[in-house]
Amino acid sequence: MADSSPSAAALEPRGRKPKKTFSRANIFLYGTLIMVSMYYLLPLYVMVVTSLKGMPEIRMGNIFGPPMEITFEPWVKAWSEACTGINCDGLSRGFGNSVRILIPSVLMSIVIASVNGYALANWKFKGSEVFFTILIIGAFIPYQTMLYPIVIMLREIGLMGSIWGLVLVHTVFGMPILTLLFRNYFASVPEELFKAARVDGAGFWQIYFQIMIPMALPIFVVAIILQVTGIWNDFLFGVIYTKPATYPMTVQLNNIVNSVQGIKEYNVNMAATLLTGLVPLIIYFASGKLFVRGIAAGAVKG
């Protein structure tokens, strides 16, 4: 909101004259934006409101109405009692699995991709660009074409169904975009710096650890944001490469909500949905501009 100061507005005379806040065009503009905002905010509002109501109130009332009596029971139930099949230990198990998948996946994918990007930007070798091009094209290939060969590979190394197998899959599929991110960043580092370090006798790893990493901290944060939200939100790989005991949270959530047995408890379902969405939402609201930078980095492919 820095641009609301009159001096800034006076410096940049774009579009209409500043200070005419209540012109017809402005009313139309804000009206549209507020209307659209409602469409975007409605689901979040409905989820929160529903998750705080009791079932009798949901059956009688209006899904847009605020809860008459706030209850946190649905949240407790979603976390520790909701059933998938015969297991009734709630989403906490999926949460645990997701965390155990998330941490090694994020670390591994970022370490590997940053080294890749560094090698591609500063230590080009014969064929390096070819491999990189294949990697980037690979990001566009539908995952479905690679699903089954990966099943075979994971079976061969004995990781099928385990958390580590899924970690490997996330590392592989995170690689194109992260490598691109790091490669572009390292390529923008002034070459003189790199040359000076080489003249001083620094080798591959020394330059990486002592010069590149300290300079690239912001891009590491961007990569972490990108990976945490991406891996946490994954459903496809989770449902294929893990078994019920190691299902990540998204898969378990879907199984809880879309299970056909029993009475539908919409408040518990919405609490469970919110619980699953909480981690990426916190990341999103906490990271602000960096999140935008992360997705913008994802946008400039090629």
Among 19, 59, 69, 261, binds another protein (CB under 8 A): 59
Q: Which residue type does 154 have?
A: L
Under DSSP, the state recorded for 262 is S
∠ CA(58), CA(64), CA(65), 5° rounding?
Answer: 70
The answer to whether the beta carbons of residues 118 and 212 sit under 8 Å apart is yes
What residue type is assigned to position 1 of the chain? M
Does position 227 interact with another protein (CB under 8 A)? The reply is no
Contact code string over 152-191 relative to another protein, x by CB under 8 A: xx-----------------xx--x---x------------
The stretch near another protein (CB under 8 A) out of 66-74, 84-92, 137-145, 159-167 is 137-145
Two tokens at 22? Answer: 């209540």
By CB under 8 A, tell whether 62 contacts another protein: yes
Residue 25 C-beta: closest distance to another protein, Å:
8
Selection from 124, 229, 125, 127 nearest residue 177 by Cα: 229
The minimum distance between CB 133 and another protein, in angstroms, equals 8
**CB 233 → another protein: shortest distance, Å?**
3
Q: Is 98 in the site for another protein (CB under 8 A)?
A: no
Can you tell me which of 76, 83, 107, 115 binds another protein, judged by CB under 8 A? Answer: 115
**97 binds another protein per the rule CB under 8 A:** no
Query: Which of 196, 213, 215, 245 lies at the binding interface for another protein (CB under 8 A)?
Result: 196
- Give Cβ neighbours of residue 3 (< 8 Å, ≥ 6 apart): 9
Smallest gap from Cβ 280 to another protein, in A, equals 4
d(CA 100, CA 104): 7
Task: Based on the shown chain and the rule CB under 8 A, indicate whether residue 35 belongs to the binding site for another protein.
Answer: no
Least separation in angstroms between CB 107 and another protein: 14
Residues 6+ apart with CB under 8 A from 224: 106, 110
> Could you give the C-alpha distances from 109 to 44, 102, 106, 112, 201, in angstroms and in order?
31, 10, 5, 5, 29
Which residues between 255 and 274 bind another protein (CB under 8 A)?
257-258, 266, 269-270, 273
